[in-house]
Structure 1
Amino acid sequence: MQRRLSAPIAALACLLLAACATRPPTATDTATFIVVRHAEKVDASRDPDLSAAGQARARALAARLGALPLAAAYATEFKRTGQTVSPTAQARGLAITAYAAGEPAAALAVRLRAAHPRGTVLVAGHSNTVPDIVAALCRCAVAPMPDHEYDRLSTIRIGADGQPRLLVERYGAANPPPATTP
């Protein structure tokens, strides 16, 4: 009789061991996209550098993200976006991947999701592109970004269930007040 019981017990033990071998989803099983606008620029020319305030904001971004492991950093072809993510990328030994500022947000979102199904990715854009990029990644409505807003940090986490979740926070110094015209 004991031999008959040992076979079902052995089968049950194998099933339990197999169940233990599969692990529950973890943070590394999710994709996270952190999207920011470039920091403050020195002037309104076509391709300006960051101002002193912008450089401070870029450093604040690196500090805000701390030791968070990043899989990649993306910036448009303009200096100000690359300069915004540079302190963060350099701290992690990452090259910055360029993307075209004029690339449709939906196409960029598809490309980012395909290239990075897990891990955390930093993306820098512009006031007229960031809301569309965030909306395409989270599949949700996103508020427009006024020209004076530089401190919005949008985090889109795509859970193991495939559902995106958006968290909007602020980082660095508060936004400067909007410019007024006399």
Structure 2
Amino acid sequence: MRPFAFPVPATLVALALCGLLGACTTLSPPDTAHTAPRSTAAQQEAPLRFVLAVNAATEPGDALNPALSPAGRTQAEALAAQLAKTPLVAVYANEFLRTQQTAQPALDQHPGLALQAFFSRGPLDETARAWRQRYHHGTVLAVGDPAQITLLARALCACPVAALEEGESGHVLEVRFDAQGRATLQDPWIGEPHQ
């Protein structure tokens, strides 16, 4: 009796399907490249700006990984509308559904960009440092939970940032860099720039 074996073509087809399934993810792996992404002329002319957004409002129930509520989807669409004509060079979200869903409408308006991951429990000061080294022009959108956005803002601007609280869904901070590399933090909810 002969042992059962897959014919070679079937094995190759199975491997190819596995590869295709792996490529169909919506979240790119963490940013490990040391080179800057290709950019358009508009992106190269735009000063560097980080838009740091707290995830939009979520559905009650799933405490670990909730989806956006209808109000949250409206907040995410409003964020996308504010960024529609902005030269985005990258869009980041952490591993949670609520942050990915908040970032998605803005990402949809910028074909050619993929949603990239940063990890919520990672060393966020190192994440901010890597972003600062990688990007020199244009706007980077990052969506996370309030504590993560606070830590990223502090690390990017090297300035005091009041801790954002749970429940501040949709809160946005901006860190802008001038031509000399000096950072300014702006909190549109408060309106006061900090240097």
TM over 0.5: yes
| Partner residue, 2:77 | 59
Structure 2: 5+ residue runs without aligned partners? 1-42, 190-195
**Which residue of 155, 169, 181 corresponds with 1:150?**
169
* Offset at residue 90 of structure 1 (A): 0.7
Q: Point out the more displaced range, 40-49 or 129-138.
A: 40-49
Q: Does 1:89 align with 2:107?
A: yes
* Deviation per residue, 1:86-135 (Å, 9 max, x gap): 00011111211011111122101111111212211000010121111101
- The 2-side partners of 1:29 and 1:88 are apart by 18
| Partner residue, 1:166 | 185
- The 2-side partners of 1:109 and 1:150 are apart by 21
| Partner residue, 1:177 | none
Please show how residues 16-31 of structure 1 align to structure 2 within 5 Å: 28=45, 30-31=47-48
- Between structure 1 and structure 2, the one with the greater Rg is 1
- Deviating runs (4+, > 2 A) in structure 1? 26-30
Identical counterparts, % of pairs: 32
For these two proteins, the number of residue pairs brought into alignment is 145
* Paired AA for residue 88 in structure 2: L
- The 1-side partners of 2:159 and 2:81 are apart by 28
Q: Does 1:39 align with 2:56?
A: yes
SS for the counterpart of 2:185 is strand
* Offset at residue 30 of structure 1 (A): 2.8
- The 2-side partners of 1:148 and 1:98 are apart by 23
| Partner residue, 1:21 | none
SS for the counterpart of 2:88 is coil
* Deviation per residue, 1:16-74 (Å, 9 max, x gap): xxxxxxxxxx9726321000111111125211111111101000101122311100100
| Partner residue, 1:11 | none
- The 1-side partners of 2:184 and 2:114 are apart by 27
Q: CA RMSD in A?
A: 1.6
| Partner residue, 2:132 | 113
Q: TM-score of the superposition, structure 2-length normalised?
A: 0.70
Structure 1: 5+ residue runs without aligned partners? 1-25, 171-182
- The 1-side partners of 2:172 and 2:148 are apart by 14
* Offset at residue 147 of structure 1 (A): 1.2
Q: Point out the more displaced range, 151-160 or 78-87.
A: 151-160
